[in-house]
Amino acid sequence: MPETVRQQLASSLLRRPVGEWILERHRAKCSYERIAAELAEATGGQVAVSKQAIHQWRQAATEGKQP
């Protein structure tokens, strides 16, 4: 699934794919709520999304990975 405009903005501000960033935080056992807060902080408040959005973005990032 292609990135949304908000995901593209996040990736640009993070200077790396937001999906990879989320997967890294998820592997570190961070909750979706915490990841959402960290994303907002890491992007200077420009990308504020819900924990549900983080969950969906993580699923999309996982599905995009090759086995």
User: pLDDT value at position 3?
Assistant: 86
How many distinct structural domains can be found in the chain?
1
> How large is the average pLDDT for residues 43-55?
97
User: pLDDT value at position 30?
Assistant: 97
User: pLDDT value at position 64?
Assistant: 76
Cα separation, 63 vs 15, in Å, equals 21
pTM, full prediction = 0.89
Tokens matching residue 52: 């549900």
What's the chain's average pLDDT? 93
Of 39, 38, 35, 31, residue with least CA distance to 11: 39
Tokens matching residue 67: 């086995």
Range of the domain at 14: 5-63
> How large is the average pLDDT for residues 42-50?
97
User: pLDDT value at position 66?
Assistant: 43
